[in-house]
Amino acid sequence: MEKVRYGIIGLGNQGSHYALKIFDAGKAVDAYVSAMCDINPAKIKAMKEKTANKDAVYFENYIEMLDSGLCDAVIVAVPHYQHPEMVIECLKRGINVICEKPAGVYAKQVREMNEVAKESKAKFGMMFNQRTNCLYRKMREMIANGDIGELQRVTWIITNWYRTQGYYDNGSWRATWEGEGGGVLINQSPHQLDLVQWIVGKLPKYVNGFCQYGKWHDIEVEDDVTAYFEYDNGATGVFITTTGEAPGTNRLEISGTLGKLLCEGGKLWLYKNDTDSREFSKSCVGFGQPKAEKIEVETDGLNKQHAGIVDNFTRTLLGKEELFVDGIEGIRGVELMNAIELSGWRGGVRVELPVNEEEYLAELNKHRATSRFKESFTDTVADTAGTF
């Protein structure tokens, strides 16, 4: 093929962003939108009026779109619970697919999706657009190269998600176990839960999650979380997030025996020790500590975000480069989220990763059974997709 034909499932805010701000805007190289789908005719009508693409074919049933033969690749931009189902339908047909984050709500459904992906000849990618950020890419590279020595501590304070009660009242599905499957962890923080393991290069072995439900808002899910991590080498970590603080903070600090990396305010700093802290401890008599130099880290400055993921996926299909984000990796952030949530439901008890998938699903279903949101989930797909 010379150009990749994309289909978009879900024309909410995110699906519309792909159609209008990436494809219409010319940011998608060697690709175009051939088909779009939404169960809400009003969404289709609105897209027809807004898009410069007058050749796309529209569908109200995504299976019909997949079976139309119009798509080489599909972008799934619908609510969380439906991600695995739609990705699986694409993969079974040999249709390449990019899934919006998160990969799913619970690890069991994501693992089932991954098993299908392993058997399919189609390419499977995740929309982890934050991995394109030059700061996070550089941190991952430096840690992998041993620039900060052996991992000692990971601390991410990501509290700049402030939301009003009016935001939550905007839709009955918002911040409900049945509508979204969680709160700040699954809605606002999936990228950070992916990045915190991607940058370090591994998931923690144990998690304690301290979740507060409806602390700052009249909602049923978590809006304030502090999680404690333990890694296989004895390193520890803290992940703090909320939608109730203003002003918020976004500060990622990763420490090792040779120094630390600090990412905040759009800058990356390396605090470089002249001696490994363990060796210094053995040789130093009395008080003292390694001398450290503070260095602002240079990066390539690139941060292509959504357009970068789409462009890479297109070039992968055309045989021009390697896939940047393998969709199978999406389960890692979901496992971490599930572990924090399961621990939170049980008062902060220690949970081992990988999380017991059946146990988590059983607990989730108990919460879904008493959820405020009772309307059929599929009836609201068009109104919820990409409006987070």
pLDDT, residue 380, reads 40
Same domain? 92 vs 137? no
* 209 and 253 fall within a common domain: yes
pLDDT grade, residue 375 (50/70/90)?
Answer: low
Distance CA 59, CA 37 (A): 5
Are 178 and 110 found together in one domain?
no
Q: Is 11 inside a domain boundary?
A: yes
According to DSSP, the residues that pair with 250 across neighbouring strands are 158
In whole angstroms, what is the distance from residue 57 CA to residue 48 CA? 10
CA torsion, ordered 217, 162, 174, 208, to nearest 10 deg: -80
What dihedral angle (degrees, nearest 10) is formed by the CA atoms of 19, 24, 30, 34?
Answer: 50
Kindly state the average pLDDT of the residues 191-196: 98
- Which whole number is the average pLDDT over 289-317? 97
pLDDT band at 46 (very low <50, low <70, confident <90, very high): very high
Residues 6+ apart with CB under 8 A from 245: 159, 160, 162
Rounded CA-CA distance 248/285 in Å is 42
387 is a domain residue: no
Q: Tell whether the model's pLDDT for residue 385 goes beyond 80.
A: no
User: Based on the domain organization, do 216 and 84 belong to the same domain?
Assistant: no
- Mean pLDDT (the chain) is 95
Which domain does 250 fall in, by range?
131-302+332-375
Q: Is the pLDDT assigned to residue 388 strictly greater than 80?
A: no
Do 123 and 45 sit in the same domain of this protein?
A: yes
- Note the pLDDT tens digit of each residue in 101-116: 999 999 999 999 999 9
Looking at the DSSP bridge assignments, the partners of residue 242 are 224
Contact 165, 262 (CB under 8 A): no
- Residue 359 contacts by C-beta under 8 Å, 6 or more apart in sequence? 342
Rounded to whole angstroms, how far apart are CA atoms 101 and 75? 11
**pTM assigned to the model:** 0.94
